[in-house]
Amino acid sequence: MTPGPAGAGATPPRGPLAGLLVADFSRILAGPYATMLLADLGAEVVKVEGPGGDDTRTWQPPVREVDGQGVSTYYLGVNRNKRSVALDLKDGADLAAARELARRADVLVENFKPGGLARFGLDYDMVAATNPGVVYASISGFGSGPGGRSLPGYDLIVQAISGLMSLTGDPDGHPYRAGVAVFDVMAGLHATIGVLSALHLRQATGRGQHVEVSLLSSALSGLVNQTSAYVAGDVVPFRMGNSHPSLFPYEPLPCADGELIVTAGNDGQFRKLCEVLGVPELADDPRFLRNEDRTANRGQLRPLLVERLRTRTKMDWFRDIIGAGVPCGPINTIDQGVAFAEEVGLDPVVPAGEGPAALPTIRNPITFSDTAAEYRLPPPALDEHGDEIRRWLAEGEEAP
């Protein structure tokens, strides 16, 4: 039996993770994003919230009207396909229910401060003592070591400390944060990879393990070429606006009515670009023959490209440059980005749930030939499934 409505006759999930029970003790973004991905792929996710609910329920505007109330779109973006139960871990009965859920779970995901669940008997060692097969994923800001365990783990802080903000913005301007919590999302993805890897090993050994991910580790890994420049090349990268340190052209370039991103990532693409622009001789110019030459001489090459691009609109150039096999694209707003995804057949918006309660959400980015992602439930109201889950836990049944 699965918890909540699924155990009362609802269609069971059919995705590749169907049959897995995930106890989600996380909140805000990194953990909820990871558990939503698992839920999309068929896992049964029980979202455990404190009496006040996930913090993102209050992160508004913007909001969407649901049953006459404004609900945070931030919360809605990472919590579909879950069932909510509100448990006060300081209450004896609620704590017993939380421990029972942890005992039955295949996966437990949490992002308390390191050690924060130990006082409730919900840390990895205590949970594994009664559930040795559990895959227990902890997401923190700076790891569980003595130097980082007490530091608050907010994405913006990690963007600053990791060095990302030193790379973002105009060369002579102030550092800027990215427009989305990139390292929360990365950490959620890394946690998901860790969980799936540990589940695969469990098939052979029967035992789970503790998976740990920190935002700072995810950040340093996700900064890829920039961190590699330092650790492998002893070069400290610096802010370059929209320019790339190792490629040119690879940035917005002005056309008659606005800017167009043009990315010639190799010599062949640059030659094609020159042909489309009507300046094929540039591809044979010794200053621009190789990518290293173009990057070193970008100050001479850029005005020559801009001179041609300014003769037509960005969409005119977009069609011709793309048609020649050279990557490029307009700088869209979010609504235009969603519309473009629709134009190219990605069907980015899907309803979560059915009937009047269905909520428009962004499609899971993974596609399978046999087991598609499912969007069974809209994001739950606080404690929406509390009675059913408590009843299920009290029945003493094993996890599905």
The residues carrying an active-site annotation are 184
- Six token digits for residue 224: 């890829």
Q: Which residues contact 364 (CB under 8 A, 6 or more apart)?
A: 37, 40, 41, 373
CA 14 to CA 121: how far, in whole Å? 33
In sequence order, the 6+-apart residues with CB closer than 8 A to the CB of 347 are 341, 363
3-state secondary structure of 296: helix
C-alpha 350/C-alpha 359 separation (Å) is 8
- Cα–Cα–Cα angle for 184, 188, 194, nearest 5°? 140
Tell me the torsion sign for CA atoms 135, 136, 137, 143: negative
Given strand 44-49, what is the order of strands in its sheet? Answer: 82-86, 44-49, 21-25, 107-110, 135-140, 210-214
